Chain A
């Protein structure tokens, strides 16, 4: 069964304290792995798509990496405005549908 698990569920950081969020997946053929940011009461905002193991993408303080079993979202020197829930999703080859993880809620304190 295709599955996505994100850890930790919640993460509290001090401003400037770098860390990583994990997304582990099992899927029968990966078409793509997606990262989204979601603010409370709003729709998910697209961040990155990763297509194959070894690929990396960066945007400001965020860097996403991909292996054959997991993806990491590295946050370097976070700021309070990075506080949000980060969602990971995979698109399976057999169905083409997106399967979402539960998300990691990040809080960055000044």
Chain B
């Protein structure tokens, strides 16, 4: 079984709809992250959480919100989807060693907003 799972894997929606992307992990890591990937722009951090009670904004958090329901679950919401949120979305977990953490990524969700 995959250590980091994301649902759904593909989603097509319309402008203005609310969307939730879910992430679950069995790695036992406290840290979890949400990224989006766009051609030519690379991976950009949306939100991150170092434990259940800790939520932090990344570089592109506008238009997104998150919920850390448990150590193993971290969901990303688009309250009112717009076309420029069409992208590949990745969840990641972080394994801490000293003052660094190595991040392990899920398989991604391809989101299309029409």
Residues B110 and A44 in contact, CB atoms below 8 Å apart: no
Given A98-B45, A101-B42, A103-B42, verify A43-B100 contact (CB < 8 Å). Answer: no
Residues of chain A lying within 8 A (CB to CB) of residue B105: 36, 43-46
Contact residues, A71-103 vs B (CB, 8 A): 87, 89, 91, 93, 96-98, 100-103
Within the complex, what minimum Cβ distance (angstroms) separates B12 from chain A?
16
Using CB atoms, name the residue of chain B closest to A98. Answer: B103
Residues B43 and A44 in contact, CB atoms below 8 Å apart: yes
* Measured CA separation A45–B92 after assembly (Å): 11
Interface size class of A (residues with CB under 8 A): 20 to 34
Residues of chain B lying within 8 A (CB to CB) of residue A87: 42-43
Residues of chain A lying within 8 A (CB to CB) of residue B74: none
* Measured CA separation A32–B96 after assembly (Å): 12
* Measured CA separation A89–B48 after assembly (Å): 17
Residues of chain A lying within 8 A (CB to CB) of residue B102: 32, 34, 46, 49
Residues B103 and A46 in contact, CB atoms below 8 Å apart: yes
* Measured CA separation A34–B102 after assembly (Å): 8
Residues A100 and B103 in contact, CB atoms below 8 Å apart: no
Residues B42 and A44 in contact, CB atoms below 8 Å apart: no
* Measured CA separation A42–B105 after assembly (Å): 9
The answer, among B58, B92, B100, for a CB contact under 8 Å with A91, is B100
Residues of B within 8 A of A (CB): 4, 40, 42-45, 48, 58-59, 88, 90, 92, 99-108, 110
Given A93-B99, A100-B44, 6 additional A-B pairs, CB 8 A: A31-B99, A41-B88, A41-B110, A42-B108, A43-B4, A45-B105
